[in-house]
Amino acid sequence: MNHRTALLVAIVIAAAPALAQETGTLKKVKDNGSITLGIRESSYPLSYLDDKQQPVGYHIDVCNRIVDAVKAQLKLPALKLQHQAVTSQNRIPLVANGTVDLECGSTTNNEARQKQVAFAPTTFVTNVRMAVKKASGITGLAQLGGKPVATTTGTTSVQLMRAHEKGKGIDFKEVYGKDHADAFLMLETDRAVAFVMDDNLLAGLIVSSKSPADYAIVGEVLNVEPIAIMLRRDDPAFKKLVDAAVIGLMKSGELDKLYTRWFLSPIPPKNVSMNFPMSEQLKKLIKAPSDAPAESFNKK
């Protein structure tokens, strides 16, 4: 046996266990016999609780398909599925520290977050716009000068509004809700004339409000944000499995069916439809799946 053959044998011996055994998330899931999904309780209709307090929604369905792929790869059909509610504040630390294996909420994929976590291919695209009362006659951001405009504390919308203000020289009076429901309440009670937020969340809040016909989503798009399932960074084996599962849904047309089910048909708890057709950006992303961050969508 010459040196080169010896080296080759050594490499094969060293690599063999690595090929046979899972590492990272897959190993953890196999050892524990369970996988934990991070869910949001009111990210309508991506991930929310129905009237029986069960997590449902478009991204929950996508995650369930990914879990099926994990079961198939690990040959563990009895894998236990656990749910953990997460919030905007704790979702990234909970994914990073291993509490949550897949976050199935409404998380924007951006460059700052890619330093902490990885994302599956984008499965939803949201546009940051504003909701107004139809009676106010407001149709564009330029009409908001000197008026109170609501948004939710700790969201990217706050910064987008400030950046727009600087660029266009419009002076908003910013008011902040603790969460989306509070911020919508500000619009409802005339504390604010507009509420700036992701358009699907606005549509969800309007549909579930007392008088949906009074509100409209109007004005220019402040930002385009790709929303995706979140997983741990530096875990290539798991990332590959998740990507393949999501791309599989896209190629087979199943993602379109899920989209139609959650955005264009009556859904719980009120059995009304969001009536929110698929955007051109998402159609493109289904043809050419990508996990590129928001920054690449908003290059100016």
Partner 1 sequence: MNYHWNFGIFLEQVKSGDETYLDWLITGLGWTLAVSLTAWLLALCIGIAVGALRTTPSRLLALLATAWVELFRNIPLLVQMFLWFFVVPEFLPRDWSLWVKQDMPAKEFVTAALCLGFFTSARVAEQVRAGVGSLPRGQRDASLALGFTLPQTYRHVILPQALRIVIPPLTSEFMNVFKNSSVAFAIGVLELTFQARQMQEDSEQGIETYLAVTLLYFICAFAANRGMAWIEAKSRVPGLIARTG
User: Cα–Cα distance between 291 and 246 in angstroms, integer?
Assistant: 11
Residues 185-214 that bind partner 1 (CB under 8 A): 185, 189-191
Shortest Cβ 43–partner 1 spacing (Å)? 15
If one asks whether residue 113 binds partner 1 (CB under 8 A), the answer comes out as yes
| Closer residue to partner 1 in complex, CB, 80/191 | 191
Q: Which stretch binds partner 1 (CB under 8 A): 30-38, 146-154, 201-209, 247-255?
A: 146-154
If one asks whether residue 148 binds partner 1 (CB under 8 A), the answer comes out as yes
Q: Which stretch binds partner 1 (CB under 8 A): 9-17, 27-35, 194-202, 231-239?
A: 231-239
User: Rounded to 5 degrees, what angle do the CA atoms 177, 183, 189 make?
Assistant: 115
What H or E segment, with its residue span, contains residue 85? strand 80-85
Provide the pairing of β-strand 34-39 with 102-108: parallel
Task: Please give the full DSSP string across 30-80, using - where no structure is assigned.
Answer: HHHTEEEEEE-SEETTTEEE-TTS-EESHHHHHHHHHHHHHHHHHT-TT-E
| Size of site (CB under 8 A) for partner 1 | 35
Q: Answer for the pair 66, 245: CB distance below 8 angstroms, yes or no.
A: yes
User: Cα–Cα distance between 80 and 252 in angstroms, integer?
Assistant: 26
User: Cα–Cα distance between 49 and 182 in angstroms, integer?
Assistant: 18
Q: Which stretch binds partner 1 (CB under 8 A): 34-42, 58-66, 182-190, 280-288?
A: 182-190
| Closer residue to partner 1 in complex, CB, 147/261 | 147
Please state at what angle helix 180-188 crosses helix 199-207, rounded to 10 degrees. 60
72, 197, 294 from 219: Cα distances, Å: 46, 12, 20
If one asks whether residue 275 binds partner 1 (CB under 8 A), the answer comes out as no
If one asks whether residue 155 binds partner 1 (CB under 8 A), the answer comes out as yes
If one asks whether residue 159 binds partner 1 (CB under 8 A), the answer comes out as yes
If one asks whether residue 89 binds partner 1 (CB under 8 A), the answer comes out as yes
Provide the pairing of β-strand 194-198 with 148-152: parallel
Q: Which stretch binds partner 1 (CB under 8 A): 154-162, 200-208, 213-221, 246-254?
A: 154-162
| Closer residue to partner 1 in complex, CB, 171/190 | 190
- Exactly one of 92, 100, 130, 229 binds partner 1 (CB under 8 A); which one? 92
- Exactly one of 233, 237, 256, 292 binds partner 1 (CB under 8 A); which one? 233
User: Cα–Cα distance between 238 and 92 in angstroms, integer?
Assistant: 17
Q: Answer for the pair 176, 151: CB distance below 8 angstroms, yes or no.
A: yes
| Closer residue to partner 1 in complex, CB, 68/190 | 190
Shortest Cβ 286–partner 1 spacing (Å)? 27
Where along the sequence are the contacts to partner 1 (CB under 8 A)? 88-90, 92-93, 96-98, 112-113, 115-116, 147-148, 153-156, 158-159, 162-163, 166, 175-178, 182, 185, 189-191, 232-234
